[in-house]
Copies of this chain bind each other. A is one copy, B any other.
Amino acid sequence: MTAVIDFYFDFSSPYGYLAAQRIEALASTHGRRVDWHPVLLGVIFKETGAVPLTQVPIKGDYSRRDMVRSARYHGIDDFRMPSRFPIPTQAAARIVLALKAEDVALSTRVAKALYRAYFAEDVDISDADAAADIASGAGADRDRARAAVDDPAVKDALRDEVARAVARGVCGSPFFIVDGEPFWGLDRLPQLDRWLASGPY
């Protein structure tokens, strides 16, 4: 059994999107599988007292500049800040979580498609119908995906998933946990890479 890299992300997180473009390649270099966990930063921010970075005085301007520069630095050419930002991400997260219970590979494909739709194609995936369309384009059953958004059991499952993330110390997006070691941020991928290559340091 291959130990996993737990990858926590919010669909409205620019650095999460950029990390999502890199984590699979990094994982496969080390023979690891990535477990994609959509979470809700709004809930996590209530625990940490944070507000969205782009809305903070001074840091907001810096972070918008840093996001597009970081995309260029990492060679991710399709990134652009969506016209509506940030957005609620319950719809996308519920679709991915519902699919995950049935077909992990499909769920991951749908997660990537949703992320790309928002951060590369400027699709507002907070809209349940738009999110279901994207899921369908990635191979999911459209009606099944659309129904997941309003399904009380899926809502509960997402609430539990976010609570588990908070309990594990997830304080932002992207956030990775490998063999019990936490790594927060796109900029921690080099440290994560070294951890996987050489073990604890």
Chain A interface SS verdict (over half): helix
Is A182 a contact partner of B47 (Cβ separation < 8 A)?
no
Q: Within the assembled complex, what's the spacing in Å between the Cα atoms of A56 and B73?
A: 30
Is A187 a contact partner of B184 (Cβ separation < 8 A)?
no
Contacts of A62 in B (CB 8 A): 169, 171, 182, 184
A59: interface (CB < 8 Å): yes
Contacts of A57 in B (CB 8 A): 47-49
Contacts of A61 in B (CB 8 A): 169
Is B47 a contact partner of A58 (Cβ separation < 8 A)?
yes
A166: interface (CB < 8 Å): yes
Contacts of A66 in B (CB 8 A): 184, 188
Is A182 a contact partner of B58 (Cβ separation < 8 A)?
no
Residue ID in chain B nearest A167 by CB atoms: B58
Contacts of A69 in B (CB 8 A): 191, 201
A185: interface (CB < 8 Å): yes
Which residues of chain A have a CB within 8 Å of any CB of chain B? 44, 47-51, 56-59, 61-62, 65-66, 69-70, 72-73, 166, 169-172, 182, 184-185, 187-188, 190-191, 194, 201
